[in-house]
Amino acid sequence: MNALLDIRGLTIDIDRDSGPARVVDGIDLTVAEGESLGIVGESGCGKSLTMLSLVGLLPNRIRATGGVADFAGKDLLAMSSEELRRLRGSQIGFIFQDPMTSLNPVMRVGAQIAEALVYQSGMAKPAAMERAAELLELVGIPSPRDRLMAYPHELSGGMRQRVMIAIGLAGSPRLLIADEPTTALDVTIQAQIVDLVRDLKDRFGMSVVWITHDLALIAGLADRIAVLYAGTVVEDSPVDVLFERPTHPYTRGLLASLPTLTDKPMSRLPSIAGTPPEPGRRPPGCPFAPRCALVTAVCTTSVPRLAPVAGSAPGHRAACFVTAGEGAS
Amino acid sequence: MTAPLLSIRNLTKEFPVRLGAFGERAATVHALDCLNIDISEGETLSLVGESGCGKSTTGYCVLNIQRPTSGSVIYAGTDIAQLDDDGMRPFRRDLQIVFQDPYSTLNPRMTIGEALAEPILFHGLARKSEIRDRLHQLLADVGLSERFASRYPHELSGGQRQRVAIARALACQPRFIVCDEAISALDVSVQAQILNLLLDLQQKYGLTYLFIAHDLAVVRHISDRVGVMYLGRLAELAPAAALFVQPLHPYTRALLSAVPSTDPRAARTRQRLQGEVPSPLAPPPGCRFHTRCPLARAQCRSDVPPLREVVSGHSVACHAVSSPTATNWEHSPA
Ligand SMILES: Nc1ncnc2c1ncn2[C@@H]1O[C@H](COP(=O)(O)OP(=O)(O)OP(=O)(O)O)[C@@H](O)[C@H]1O
Ligand SMILES: Nc1ncnc2c1ncn2[C@@H]1O[C@H](COP(=O)(O)OP(=O)(O)OP(=O)(O)O)[C@@H](O)[C@H]1O
Ligand code: SF4
Ligand SMILES: [Mg+2]
Ligand SMILES: [Mg+2]
């Protein structure tokens, strides 16, 4: 399989009054043609900024300062904003985390989807409206034709998210980047969206990058999962291997925090003590060291690199001196 | 029995909307239809159900953020559903909400510190000299460092904003909080931390929560009771333990069977609820679930099933379920 998206050594800095603060610190990620990659990680660890940097939509005062991001052989980070604009929608579908900030509040949702279609594929307006209704139907919105007239505030939270999903899929992209697209969706509709995306992937070879904190959802969708912590990839693994053999102590902590349908109600859930380092204030060694139960001397002085997990499946890598790579027991 | 903290009676909300390609037809969204629930002090009542079934609308109408079309909400002897903004003012501090969409509720021109200090100072809950400590405590409670006080909402990640919204609701030391998908954008470790915090506050101060969430494992974990909504009505209302062990309404059964699992193989073979989600623009007559229900019979197409208590504390709105044992499941293909 060829890599459709290949990110190497990506760094992103926030320009603070006190000087630049590094928020994404050398991320490597690849997504093959037709593959779906799930991304999970601590709130604030740089997932959204990483994805925004790929399509040239980083906010003011935040810049990608290093690395490359090859998409079908061309470096996205080196493209002009005009080139990126053309790519967005037609080649790369993007679903933003915050529907209320990316939908136009004074424009009816049908017109918004149709506008995207007209822009991306040069479709005529009436045909675009027709297609917009089909897309709303695909994402499970009842009475889709009637809902074309709704303003975003007239829709429920989950419906707004599905409008975003419809816009992301509108241009039949080769790569879909979805940033927490289903946080407001109940399990039945989530399942329907996951089926839809998997179907597009199987039929048209669409590649998918799906950011979520919902481990059960991603278990059913992703081929591989990358776990991010403080702006770096700390574990990267085929999906079934990750759940069978979580290796990085942060990944283990995440899985342990998960409430299940069999735990003791009202009990305290285990959570990882402490808080992640802030951008620009990361410790010298492993970024997880201050919160890690397995920390050793080397962890506080050197930065562990992503390395194969000894004795695990091929393609399972973790960045940890104790549980993976050189020095692992 | 002590009197409930909030009594919700026949709460109904309809939205007039325009339809058609040119907005030429007027229509009504039947978002909430005759909801009745008593919420006791110190309990966590959760609402679950399909996207668009009226959970957020319930939260808004209970707090009179959206004026209900009809019905009442009795709090402290007053029907707050009838009050205008001025009338609501004395109740606002007690009754807080964490909105589903935190971005739209935080003022983009206020720093996080200002946004959190505002309700504290407004309600006179701390002196100016104490405010700094109070802010740091609130931020620490939701897992954010004190440095966030000087940041603006747009400088935060999605999950960080959601935690600020939670801190803001807690800032005025309320008695009742509507948490509308309040933890849905958080990674599971921070989620666990917030759930622990909510449980702690409940134990210490007897806080009451109306908790809206789609994650059923979370709901099971923190709820005393769970209401399952379908298209603007309650389908089932039961103690959490009973609901997850013995769901009685056909819709609840379908919903629980759709819960994904972290086993990648199981996740790919789970059941789906069949049939179209009907539209709240034209809800089906009778039982609103009959178009998708494996047990539907003639009566279901014409008569609205009342919410009946079939076991102590466990109520179901279904013609086919008259007791926990007489549920006619034998006829069910599911
Ligand atoms: N416009 C901005 N200005 C300054 N800092 C920002 C800005 N946007 C994000 N940040 C900071 O950069 C870090 C990474 O943010 P990002 O939105 O990528 O996180 P995330 O991993 O998507 O988190 P979440 O899961 O909560 O959405 C956070 O600590 C955030 O506070
Ligand atoms: N201001 C409004 N104008 C018109 N219709 C509205 C308005 N607000 C909500 N609705 C409609 O009311 C119904 C219930 O919406 P509500 O937001 O309560 O759903 P929900 O259960 O919270 O869904 P979700 O899980 O997706 O957040 C939906 O059909 C929605 O489109
Ligand atoms: S009332 Fe009839 S249609 Fe409704 S849930 Fe019960 S059996 Fe199904
Ligand atoms: Mg994000
Ligand atoms: Mg809602």
**Is the CB of residue A44 below 6 angstroms from any atom belonging to ligand 1?**
yes
Question: CA-CA distance, A91 to A175, in Å (whole number)?
Answer: 6
HEC per residue, A190-245: HHHHHHHHHHHHHHHCCEEEEECCCHHHHHCCCCEEEEEECCEEEEEEEHHHHHHC
pLDDT at residue B328, rounded to an integer: 54
Taking the CA of residue A286 and the nearest CA in chain B, the distance in Å comes to 19
The arithmetic mean of pLDDT across residues B4-31, rounded, is 89
Q: Is the pLDDT of residue B183 over 60?
A: yes
Spatial CB neighbours of B11, under 8 Å, sequence gap ≥ 6: B32, B34, B35, B36, B58, B61, B62, B68, B70, B71, B72, B73, B81
Taking the CA of residue B155 and the nearest CA in chain A, the distance in Å comes to 9
Taking the CA of residue B296 and the nearest CA in chain A, the distance in Å comes to 20
Instruction: Give DSSP secondary structure letters for B283-331.
Output: PPSSSTTGGG-TT--HHHHHSPPP-EEEETTEEE--TT-SSSS---GGG
Specify the 3-state DSSP secondary structure of B180. strand
Phi, psi of B213 (to 5 degrees): -155, 155
pLDDT at residue A89, rounded to an integer: 79
Side by side, which strands form the sheet with A224-229?
Answer: A92-95, A175-179, A207-211, A36-41, A224-229, A232-238, A317-318, A307-308
Instruction: Tell me the whole-structure pTM to 2 decimals.
Output: 0.92
Whole-number Å distance, alpha carbon A48 to ligand 1 midpoint, is 7
Q: Is the pLDDT of residue B327 over 80?
A: no
**Which residues from chain B sit within 8 angstroms of residue A99, using beta carbons?**
101
Phi, psi of A235 (to 5 degrees): -155, 145
Q: CB A183 to CB B185 under 8 A?
A: yes
Q: Which range, of A13-27, B12-26, B79-93, B278-292, averages the lowest pLDDT?
A: B12-26
**Is the CB of residue B200 below 6 angstroms from any atom belonging to ligand 1?**
no
Measured from the Cα of A158, ligand 2's closest atom is 26
Query: If you take atom 11 of ligand 1, which residue's CA is the nearest one?
Result: B156
Question: CA-CA distance, B20 to A291, in Å (whole number)?
Answer: 56
Whole-number Å distance, alpha carbon B51 to ligand 5 midpoint, is 7
Whole-number Å distance, alpha carbon B157 to ligand 4 midpoint, is 5
Nearest ligand, CA A276: 1
Decide: A121 and A171 in contact? Cβ < 8 Å: yes
Question: CA-CA distance, A74 to A71, in Å (whole number)?
Answer: 5
The arithmetic mean of pLDDT across residues B11-28, rounded, is 86
Q: CB B220 to CB A265 under 8 A?
A: yes
Which sign, positive or negative, has the C-alpha torsion A273, A275, A277, A283?
Answer: negative
Q: Report DSSP state, residue B82.
A: G
Percent of chain B predicted with pLDDT > 70: 90
Element at B88 (helix H, strand E):
helix B85-92
The arithmetic mean of pLDDT across residues A264-285, rounded, is 88
Sorting pLDDT into bands at 50, 70 and 90, what band is A326? Answer: low
**Is the CB of residue B154 below 6 angstroms from any atom belonging to ligand 1?**
yes
Q: Is the pLDDT of residue A317 over 60?
A: yes
Token pair listed for B297? 């019979």
Measured from the Cα of B297, ligand 3's closest atom is 2
Q: CB B281 to CB A259 under 8 A?
A: no
Which sign, positive or negative, has the C-alpha torsion B264, B265, B268, B269?
Answer: negative
Question: CA-CA distance, B116 to A28, in Å (whole number)?
Answer: 38
Token pair listed for A238? 């085929």
Token pair listed for B118? 């505002």
Q: CB B221 to CB A158 under 8 A?
A: no
**Which residues from chain A sit within 8 angstroms of residue B272, using beta carbons?**
188, 191-192, 195
Q: Is the pLDDT of residue B326 over 70?
A: no
pLDDT at residue B322, rounded to an integer: 81
Token pair listed for A247? 């290796």
With an 8 Å Cβ cutoff, is A268 touching chain B? yes
**Is the CB of residue A183 below 6 angstroms from any atom belonging to ligand 2?**
no
Q: Is the pLDDT of residue B330 over 50?
A: no
Q: CB B189 to CB A257 under 8 A?
A: yes
pLDDT at residue A329, rounded to an integer: 44
- Can you identify the CATH homologous superfamily of domain B4-94+207-331? P-loop containing nucleotide triphosphate hydrolases (3.40.50.300)
Taking the CA of residue A240 and the nearest CA in chain B, the distance in Å comes to 6
Q: Is the pLDDT of residue B120 over 80?
A: yes
Which sign, positive or negative, has the C-alpha torsion A109, A112, A117, A122?
Answer: positive
Whole-number Å distance, alpha carbon A310 to ligand 4 midpoint, is 32
**Which residues from chain A sit within 8 angstroms of residue B163, using beta carbons?**
43
**Which residues from chain A sit within 8 angstroms of residue B101, using beta carbons?**
98-100, 157
Sorting pLDDT into bands at 50, 70 and 90, what band is A47? Answer: very high
Question: CA-CA distance, B27 to B8, in Å (whole number)?
Answer: 26
Q: Is the pLDDT of residue B197 over 90?
A: yes
Q: Is the pLDDT of residue A141 over 70?
A: yes
The arithmetic mean of pLDDT across residues B123-136, rounded, is 91
With an 8 Å Cβ cutoff, is B114 touching chain A? no
Q: Is the pLDDT of residue B334 over 50?
A: no
In 3D space, the residue among B166, B225, B241 whose CA is nearest the CA of residue B38 turns out to be B225
Q: Report DSSP state, residue B153.
A: G
Give the model confidence (pLDDT) of B61-118 as tens digits. 999 999 999 999 999 999 999 999 999 999 999 999 998 877 777 898 999 999 999 9
Sorting pLDDT into bands at 50, 70 and 90, what band is A1? Answer: low
With an 8 Å Cβ cutoff, is A243 touching chain B? yes
Q: Taking every pair of C-alpha atoms in chain A, what is the biggest distance, in angstroms? A: 66
Q: Which range, of A141-155, A277-291, A312-326, B20-34, averages the lowest pLDDT?
A: B20-34
Sorting pLDDT into bands at 50, 70 and 90, what band is A190? Answer: confident
Token pair listed for B164? 């600020």
Decide: B13 and B66 in contact? Cβ < 8 Å: yes
HSE-up (13 A, CA, CB side) for residue A49:
31
**Which residues from chain B sit within 8 angstroms of residue A238, using beta carbons?**
none
Question: CA-CA distance, A190 to B214, in Å (whole number)?
Answer: 10
Q: CB B196 to CB A271 under 8 A?
A: yes
Nearest ligand, CA A185: 2
Q: Is the pLDDT of residue B174 over 90?
A: yes
* Residues 303-322 of chain B whose Cβ lies under 8 A from any Cβ of chain A: none
Q: How many residues does chain A have?
A: 329
Question: CA-CA distance, A38 to A16, in Å (whole number)?
Answer: 30
Sorting pLDDT into bands at 50, 70 and 90, what band is A259? Answer: confident
Spatial CB neighbours of B86, under 8 Å, sequence gap ≥ 6: none
Question: CA-CA distance, B308 to B293, in Å (whole number)?
Answer: 19
**Which residues from chain A sit within 8 angstroms of residue B19, using beta carbons?**
146, 149
The arithmetic mean of pLDDT across residues A1-28, rounded, is 93
Measured from the Cα of A50, ligand 1's closest atom is 18
Give the model confidence (pLDDT) of B206-251 as tens digits. 999 999 999 999 999 999 999 999 999 999 999 999 999 999 999 9
Token pair listed for A25? 């610190």
Complex ipTM above 0.85? Answer: yes
Percent of chain A predicted with pLDDT > 90: 67
The arithmetic mean of pLDDT across residues A139-148, rounded, is 89
Whole-number Å distance, alpha carbon A268 to ligand 4 midpoint, is 26
Q: How many residues does chain B have?
A: 334
